[in-house]
């Protein structure tokens, strides 16, 4: 292996090949996954400066059959970007590749290195007068390469789609160390198979994304937020339909939160002053982005809420009067994860269900779990606008959270995922498979699809050096 | 081969396996391509009734190494859906599979057989109160399976994307005759490689699409059309930017037409009364779809046009006063293809260029062609909103059109495509590769991409029985 390390040092410079040989070097930031469940041991952390260096690193690894784990901000939630414990895998960190290569206003695109932090891209777009709409809790540290590798979702998917819908072109280093120059800014290009979409969401198992051309949008003139109490999940789904009809593409956010989830937010963050939740089982956060004016956005919202109240699907509602109030409402939504962590360890799910089936799914799955675990507590919230629920399971009041998770996680996962399958949903809506769900996939994914995935993996990475064991089990 | 034909008759019924053995049977509708340039000779035309029959047909063909050419409405423009002249290939027609399987209003989706005619799907959606926005000239006879196989574009791509952006799930028969059950209606599903996007646009070379789950949208409350005279292509691009800003997602159409293209429309369809074109080199057709009201749509349009006139990028404009007027403006746009055909045979291109580069591309390419062929006439029009030009080349006034096309087509194609490549465009924006452009692709497509495409094709269709010779040269 020292020959490989010598090659890598020649390619990237000694300072950018970090190993455990120097006892002063702490590699844990690259070796430990975000949820602190996986602790790997890397042969080296390699930090190339540009695409040519990435290609040379991959070639050197291919020559020595060395496995490569591509890594961006290492904020993934399914342990897909950390090395295994063998000490034989290298982490290929894209963090030094963080330039915005170009912004093309008339084409509404920007071309960026994979290691750019998401929030920096939002800022660069805004500075140029445009919106890059990908948005999620980890945006201060996740990278666009990681967003693309995992096809990240977030809070504006109802309007702008997942990361894949925001990408027009890619530059990728293949498992052979070749460079695919696919950085097109075209909205129409029917010249062969769509390799871009194959790479996006493949979690680094088919190549290394080194750059991307992304879509920009005009900045909205105003963004307003409303909070509605709804009597049932059925009513929330009905409200979503009315919101599509009355706000059109202005509807950029539609989040649902259950009463218990909001009670935890209220308990641990009392200064957030959670509105309306005590009298209703569900609340909905709506966002309306308007290209005309704040006054127009407000009148649109008021019209929608009036129609919804008359239809009986909203019992009470507030529209934020200021940007600070709007941010406060979003903070409540985003505080739920932290609040439930303070309440204790819990069993998390990132699932999607056809929107029309969500009320029936929640009713059926709640009943199953309560039958299995009397008094179990369900922290249910998520992006209802795109059918994505974070359906989390918390120990009964007074139960020991660590014991609960240790003893019940497998059983609860199976109950929830089997129910997801019955309702034709997905066991991973936006987080991906990584290594965390790799053993579960064969039970829930069509076997013909898995067969095609394996054939493609073998064809493009016959040595199985790109992030092996992720997405597809060995 | 008679053993194969016997099997096919057993699978589909004798009435649905058409061959030349019966001299009364005319197969030319399935054997001749839409532009009447390719005349094939099929072993048989097979018309299965359902997905199980498709799978059995593919298995029977795989067992005998028989090539399969999937076919929908056979309206493609690159000769991708007709058999070769060998008499050894079967045409697999999906036309009998034409049911809308389900409409799910709360999920905003519909699930349909591949053989459904596009216009029937638009009608079914509208009857349920929703919009299926895919729209193109061939909609009365093209099928959704063909739209998916070729990733068709059309006139509303600026807002709703190409066919791939409108599809959430697929059912596909693989080259082995297995059925991949991927008919999900989920907007988020990160459970492995995106096989859906790999199949879409693969022109039947990786499998047979038998059904799809498609996105629906709320019906707009009003749709208004405007016609603007612009002093230059630069001004048209500037107007597009203003339209994005002022109409937001209301902008559902943005078509540009050159003066010569419009003069042909005026010459052959004088009753269409082409407005404004005599005093300006370019006209733009804009469509604004509004979820509020016609009055709102009109005020938005008027505000946009006022801003654009003050900015100098529009010299004159009209907003249609009635639906009949709006349809009349669209008819002008759609009459150009027919008008130029009446003027004589011409050399057609379906190209895309980054929108910011279109003015420079047109200037440079016009100059190249005029240098090569003095007085050549350029019929230039297209979907500027998504960077797609139909950049067509007509013989000089008084020249013999057939001789011109025969002698000049290869040379003109190369001049145009080389120019497209210099401006980082695509030689096929929305029509695909088929057999017409298959020999040109290697010159213009990244070789690493072609290598990956070949690896995928070999992995999924090792016998090369699915539409062989299309997309990838043998």
Q: Is the pLDDT of residue B64 over 70?
A: yes
Q: Which chain A positions have a beta carbon within 8 Å of B438's beta carbon?
A: none
The mean predicted confidence, pLDDT, of chain B is 96
How many interchain CB pairs under 8 A, A with B?
270
CA distance B67 to chain A (A): 20
Question: Model-level pTM?
Answer: 0.97
- pLDDT of amino acid A1: 64
> Which of B188, B220, B445 is nearest residue A388 as measured by Cβ atoms?
B188
Q: Is the pLDDT of residue B83 over 90?
A: yes
Closest-CA residue in chain B for A247?
B291
- pLDDT of amino acid B414: 97
Query: Tokens standing for B128?
Result: 């349920």
CA distance A450 to chain B (A): 8
Contact at CB, B188 and A218, closer than 8 angstroms: no
> Which of B218, B352, B353 is nearest residue A248 as measured by Cβ atoms?
B218
- pLDDT of amino acid B242: 98
Contact at CB, A460 and B458, closer than 8 angstroms: no
- The predicted complex's ipTM stands at 0.97
Closest-CA residue in chain B for A293?
B246
Q: Which chain B positions have a beta carbon within 8 Å of A427's beta carbon?
A: 191
Closest-CA residue in chain B for A430?
B190
Contact at CB, B386 and A198, closer than 8 angstroms: no
Confidence bin at B103 (pLDDT 50/70/90): very high
Q: Is the pLDDT of residue B97 over 70?
A: yes
> Which of B107, B162, B237 is nearest residue A106 as measured by Cβ atoms?
B237
Residues in chain A, pLDDT under 50: none
Helices A447-460, B447-460: axis angle to 10 degrees equals 140
> Which of B186, B388, B437 is nearest residue A354 as measured by Cβ atoms?
B186
Closest-CA residue in chain B for A237?
B106
Contact at CB, B186 and A471, closer than 8 angstroms: no
Contact at CB, A108 and B355, closer than 8 angstroms: yes
Confidence bin at B79 (pLDDT 50/70/90): very high
What mean pLDDT is predicted for residues B214-239? 97
Contact at CB, A249 and B248, closer than 8 angstroms: yes
Closest-CA residue in chain A for B161?
A187
Tell me: the pLDDT tens digits for B374-416? Answer: 999 999 999 999 999 999 999 999 889 999 999 999 999 999 9
CA distance B149 to chain A (A): 11
Contact at CB, B190 and A247, closer than 8 angstroms: no
Tell me: the pLDDT tens digits for B10-44? Answer: 999 999 999 999 888 899 999 999 988 889 999 99
Looking only at the bridges linking them, the beta strands covering B90-93 and B68-71 are parallel
pLDDT above 70 covers a percentage of chain A that reads: 100
Place of tokens 């120059």: A181
Confidence bin at B154 (pLDDT 50/70/90): confident
Q: Which chain A positions have a beta carbon within 8 Å of B428's beta carbon?
A: 189-191
Contact at CB, B178 and A441, closer than 8 angstroms: no
- pLDDT of amino acid B1: 63
CA distance A407 to chain B (A): 26
> Which of A153, A182, A202 is nearest residue B188 as measured by Cβ atoms?
A153
Tell me: the pLDDT tens digits for A276-312? Answer: 999 999 999 999 999 999 999 999 999 999 999 999 9
Looking only at the bridges linking them, the beta strands covering B388-394 and B377-383 are antiparallel
Mutate to test the interface with A, among B191, B360, B444 (most CBs of A within 10 A): B191
């Amino acid at each position: 292996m020292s020959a490989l390390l010598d090659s890598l040092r020649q390619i990237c410079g000694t300072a950018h090949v970090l190993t455990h040989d120097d006892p002063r070097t702490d590699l844990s930031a690259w070796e430990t996954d975000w949820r602190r469940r996986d602790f790997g041991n890397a042969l080296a952390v390699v930090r190339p400066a540009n695409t040519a260096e990435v290609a040379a690193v991959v070639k050197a690894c291919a020559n020595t059959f060395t496995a490569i784990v591509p890594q961006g901000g290492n904020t993934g939630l399914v342990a897909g970007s950390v090395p295994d414990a063998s000490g034989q895998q290298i982490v290929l960190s894209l963090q030094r590749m963080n330039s915005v290569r170009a912004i093309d206003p008339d084409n509404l695109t920007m071309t960026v290195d994979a290691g750019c932090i998401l929030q920096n891209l939002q800022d660069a777009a805004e500075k140029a007068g445009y919106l890059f709409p990908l948005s999620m809790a980890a945006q201060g540290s996740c990278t666009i390469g990681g967003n693309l590798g995992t096809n990240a979702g977030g809070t504006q998917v109802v309007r702008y789609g997942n990361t894949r819908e925001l990408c027009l072109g890619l530059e990728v280093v293949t498992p052979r160390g070749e460079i695919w120059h696919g950085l097109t800014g075209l909205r129409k290009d029917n010249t062969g198979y769509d390799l871009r979409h194959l790479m996006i969401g493949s979690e680094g198992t088919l190549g290394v994304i080194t750059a991307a051309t992304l879509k920009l949008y005009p900045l909205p003139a105003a963004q307003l937020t409303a909070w509605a109490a709804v009597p049932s999940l059925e009513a929330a789904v009905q409200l979503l339909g009315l919101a599509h009809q009355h706000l059109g593409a202005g509807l950029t956010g539609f989040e649902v939160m259950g009463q218990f989830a909001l009670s935890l937010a209220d308990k641990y963050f009392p200064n957030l002053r959670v509105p309306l939740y005590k009298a209703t089982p569900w609340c909905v956060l709506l966002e309306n982005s308007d290209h005309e004016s704040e006054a127009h956005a407000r009148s649109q919202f008021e019209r929608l809420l009036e129609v919804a109240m008359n239809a009986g699907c909203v019992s009470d509602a507030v529209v934020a009067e200021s940007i600070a109030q709007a941010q406060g409402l979003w903070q409540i939504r985003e505080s739920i994860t932290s609040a439930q962590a303070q309440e204790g360890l819990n069993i998390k799910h990132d699932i999607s269900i056809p929107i029309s089936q969500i009320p029936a799914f929640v009713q059926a799955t709640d009943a199953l779990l309560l039958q299995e675990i009397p008094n179990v507590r369900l922290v249910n919230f998520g992006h209802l606008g795109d059918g994505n629920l974070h359906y989390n399971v918390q120990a009964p009041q007074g139960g020991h959270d660590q014991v609960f998770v240790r003893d019940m996680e497998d059983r609860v996962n199976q109950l929830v995922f089997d129910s997801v399958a019955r309702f034709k949903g997905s066991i991973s809506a936006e987080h991906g498979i990584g290594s965390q769900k790799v053993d579960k996939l064969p039970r829930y994914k069509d076997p013909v699809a898995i067969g095609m995935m394996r054939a493609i993996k073998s064809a493009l990475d016959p040595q199985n050096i790109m992030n092996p064991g992720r997405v597809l089990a060995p």
